[in-house]
Structure 1
Amino acid sequence: MRESAAERHDRLLELVRRRGSARVSDLAGQLGVSPVTVRRDVEALAVRGLLDRVHGKVSWPHQEGAPGVPAPGGAGGRELVLGMIAPNATYYFAEVIRGAHEAAAAAGARLILRISDYRPQEDAARAAGLLAAGAEGLLVAPGWKEPHDPAEHGGWITGLPVPAVLLERRGVPGGALDDLDRVCSDHGHGVLLAVRHLTGLGHRAPLLVARADSPTALAVRAGYRQALDALGLAAPHPVIDSVPAEADPAGFEAAVGALATAVRAGVASAALVHNDVDAIRIAQRLGELGIRVPRDLALVAYDDEVAALADTPLTAVAPPKHEVGRYAAQLLVERLRGATAGPDGEPQPCRHVDLLPRLRVRSSCGAPRPGTPAAAALPVASPAALPEPRNG
């Protein structure tokens, strides 16, 4: 994908912010563009007050009162400016962003947003762009996908010159990111709600069908193990790896086949599927194979973005996405306005806020207990018009 001018500007700003100053020729080499392009970019950014130019060099405008560098804390009654980095603005994170925006507006602050599109190596450049645009504090949901991403692509967060709050992300336990404020959904609790609900209906431990391409997906997998341990249950089958049907049709068919085999063999009569769109597509494909939800398989989805729109509405775990954004923005505003200082003027300890998901019970988990007459088959959803989600 070709880099846009805005993305290149963010990278340029991040390079200058880290180094304090840089020569145009050096920036051209690091950005992989011509000196003419860099000069044009520098001119545009300097006109906006985001960089200073001095004799062939550019520098970050550190001095207080410089254009684009607000005094900390919204002094003088100015409108606070909050920056936010999110991996996307649609599936899952749309509600997080909406909650943050509403809280910022209620506090008389402005929220500005940059989207990383799940490219964690570019998050630092996005942050530099937000700082250059006047952000006095940052809400940060890095575009991490792999387990090693926090260690490889999280160090820049602790070096930020402004307060930051992580949302829906946790660093390596014991690492530097643990010293930051964060607001997260407790996905382990969400999985426990689903497992406990299904076993309460008379099912043995449900089978987990899950992705592994986001922090939420990894947290669901970890939560499944913890839920089984907490309830004294054994997994009926290894976790089935879920993949997007459009991106990997063969992988999707393999996942559906593994689930169908487990149901027919009596290994499982219930399943938890992460995420909603995968759950709807899996339910439809199972129906084509003669396995009906909820007659033959009780099914719970995880995310509750579109689960209620299925022809057989799906019971779903609903992380408190809106509240995560709202709490995080409120906490950041408090930090910026000094409300988190104690009586002695010292900052209050950082906070790790875990918000509990809810279970929204619908039709898809109505499968009867073993040994009772089968319920009438219900139609399943057609997912043709559903968007392909990126997970949280």
Structure 2
Amino acid sequence: MRESAAERHDRLLELVRRHGTARVSDLAGLLGVSPVTARRDVEVLAGKGLLDRVHGSVSWPAAQPAGRQEPPDALVLGLLAPSATYYFAEVIRGAHEAAARAGARLILRISDYRPEEDHARVEGLLAAGAQGLLVAPGWRRPQDPAEHGQWIAGLPVPAVLLERQPGPGTPADALDRVCSDHRHGVLLAVRHLVGLGHGAPVLVARADSPTALSVRAGYAAALGALGLSAPRGAIDSVPAELDPEGFEAAVGALREAVTAGATAALVHNDVDAIQIVQRLAELGVRVPEDLAVVAYDDEVAALADTPLTAVAPPKREVGRHAAELLVERLNEGFGEAARRHLTLLPRLRVRASCGAPSGVRPTEVGVPGPGRGGAPHTLA
């Protein structure tokens, strides 16, 4: 199976983290890619603040701003993430910024969406001195929390879950957590499309991550809340580079839905949405003239030929609030303080793929009004 860019980025980050500093030419050899590809990967990761780049070499970024030294007794926060690219790059950045503001050091380990390795990665963070943990397990399937998440509730240090919701009543459900409200994000998208005169959109979505599963659940909830019926069953989406036949089947199913009268689609995620729109154009289906499209994630949606309207989960804010909560727990003591479940609301960024006039600046739907400042709402 061909390695994706995200998987290669994670390997590159792990190599730099392990060595501290490395030449880009050496990284190319270790990764088995051309120097041009290695330089391009480094530029992407440095642009996201995940690496420091100087004169042909890269290094792991300091946890503190330049010129600022960590005190000997600085808090050490450990972060387990399933990836350091795409969605989780912004989560990590938010946590890193909050840790730096608090005078804490953030150390990172990547599970590469292998939930069976999560526990060992966390043990590595604890061995490296982590006094508290930010944990985003690499769950992909509905059964993963039960099969690979029992250890989380028994951690010996304070822990905050990131973008993960264990089953109700499970021990891990009693931990602090900070999540995006993906159901709300889907509702924003569906309500926007209906407000433009479309019927219920076709859902094109993956089923290989907690976000994907939440988007699917949110779609059913949104249709129920708005009194709508799905025009057809959800179309299973797959990465084009990993499963070309599956990708073509998804595009074909969506084209058939358009032929049958569908005029709108919600696609998770951005990369899939861009590639699907490109392929539809080759088959004679135009966006937005024949099909209005909303993507979910808003990582690269704005860069499509026809900029895609997209739901934008508050990824950076998730990382920031989680790190701030963990620092608060460490400063106050583990004790019996009431645990918190913070849910942050996504926004809808409206662009041309839904028929916005050319030259009009993108707008946001779901932006908090004056005086509310984007604060999360707290769930019981």
TM range (shorter): 0.7 to 0.9
Does the CA contact (< 8 Å) of 2:87 and 2:297 recur in 1?
Answer: yes
Shift of 1:313: 0.2
Does the CA contact (< 8 Å) of 1:271 and 1:298 recur in 2?
Answer: yes
Give the number of the structure whose alpha-carbon radius of gyration is greater. Answer: 1
Residue 338 in structure 1 maps to residue 339 in structure 2: no
Q: 2:313 aligns to what?
A: 319
Q: Secondary structure at the match of 1:258?
A: helix
User: 1:301, 1:290 → 2: CA distance?
Assistant: 20
User: 2:325, 2:217 → 1: CA distance?
Assistant: 28
Which of the numbers 202, 205, 222 marks the counterpart of 2:217? Answer: 222
Which of the numbers 113, 116, 139 marks the counterpart of 1:144? Answer: 139
CA deviation digits over 1:200-220, x for unaligned, max 9? Answer: 000000010000000000000
CA deviation digits over 1:77-125, x for unaligned, max 9? Answer: 8100000000000010000000000000000100000000001001010
Residue 352 in structure 1 maps to residue 347 in structure 2: no
User: 1:82, 1:249 → 2: CA distance?
Assistant: 40
Residue 170 in structure 1 maps to residue 159 in structure 2: no
Q: Secondary structure at the match of 2:321?
A: helix
Does the CA contact (< 8 Å) of 1:207 and 1:271 recur in 2?
Answer: yes
Does the CA contact (< 8 Å) of 2:350 and 2:356 recur in 1?
Answer: no
Q: 1:306 aligns to what?
A: 300
The one-letter amino acid of 2:266's match is L
User: 1:352, 1:143 → 2: CA distance?
Assistant: 20
Q: 1:286 aligns to what?
A: 280
Q: 1:114 aligns to what?
A: 109
Does the CA contact (< 8 Å) of 1:86 and 1:116 recur in 2?
Answer: yes
User: 2:139, 2:260 → 1: CA distance?
Assistant: 37
Which of the numbers 289, 293, 297 marks the counterpart of 1:295? Answer: 289
Which of the numbers 251, 254, 258 marks the counterpart of 1:259? Answer: 254
Q: 1:237 aligns to what?
A: 232
Q: Secondary structure at the match of 2:169?
A: coil
User: 1:283, 1:325 → 2: CA distance?
Assistant: 31
Q: 2:125 aligns to what?
A: 130
TM-score of the superposed pair, with normalisation by structure 1: 0.72
User: 2:128, 2:351 → 1: CA distance?
Assistant: 45
Does the CA contact (< 8 Å) of 1:298 and 1:367 recur in 2?
Answer: no
**Gapped regions of structure 1 (runs ≥ 5):** 8-75, 369-374, 376-392
CA deviation digits over 1:230-289, x for unaligned, max 9? Answer: 0111011100000111111111111000100110121x1000000000000000100000
Equivalences, count: 291
Q: 2:47 aligns to what?
A: none
CA RMSD after TM alignment: 1.9
1:1-392 map, 5 Å: 78-266=73-261, 268-338=262-332, 347-366=336-355
Q: Secondary structure at the match of 1:337?
A: helix
Does the CA contact (< 8 Å) of 1:297 and 1:367 recur in 2?
Answer: no
The one-letter amino acid of 2:105's match is R
User: 1:171, 1:121 → 2: CA distance?
Assistant: 16
The one-letter amino acid of 1:286's match is L
The one-letter amino acid of 1:170's match is Q
Q: Secondary structure at the match of 2:184?
A: helix
Q: 1:29 aligns to what?
A: none
User: 1:294, 1:114 → 2: CA distance?
Assistant: 41
User: 2:145, 2:258 → 1: CA distance?
Assistant: 37
CA deviation digits over 1:274-314, x for unaligned, max 9? Answer: 00000000001000000000000000000000000001000
**Gapped regions of structure 2 (runs ≥ 5):** 4-10, 15-70, 359-380
Runs of 4+ residues deviating >3 angstroms: none
Shift of 1:348: 2.2
Shift of 1:173: 1.3
Name the % identity: 77
User: 1:186, 1:142 → 2: CA distance?
Assistant: 18
User: 1:77, 1:353 → 2: CA distance?
Assistant: 32
Shift of 1:347: 2.8
User: 2:275, 2:305 → 1: CA distance?
Assistant: 12
User: 1:174, 1:299 → 2: CA distance?
Assistant: 37
CA deviation digits over 1:297-349, x for unaligned, max 9? Answer: 0000000000000010000000000000000000000000007x8xxxx6321
User: 2:118, 2:260 → 1: CA distance?
Assistant: 46
Q: Secondary structure at the match of 1:165?
A: strand
CA deviation digits over 1:116-158, x for unaligned, max 9? Answer: 0001001010011100110000000000000000011111111
TM-score of the superposed pair, with normalisation by structure 2: 0.74
The one-letter amino acid of 1:255's match is A
User: 1:119, 1:304 → 2: CA distance?
Assistant: 25
User: 2:161, 2:147 → 1: CA distance?
Assistant: 16
Does the CA contact (< 8 Å) of 1:99 and 1:326 recur in 2?
Answer: yes
The one-letter amino acid of 1:329's match is A
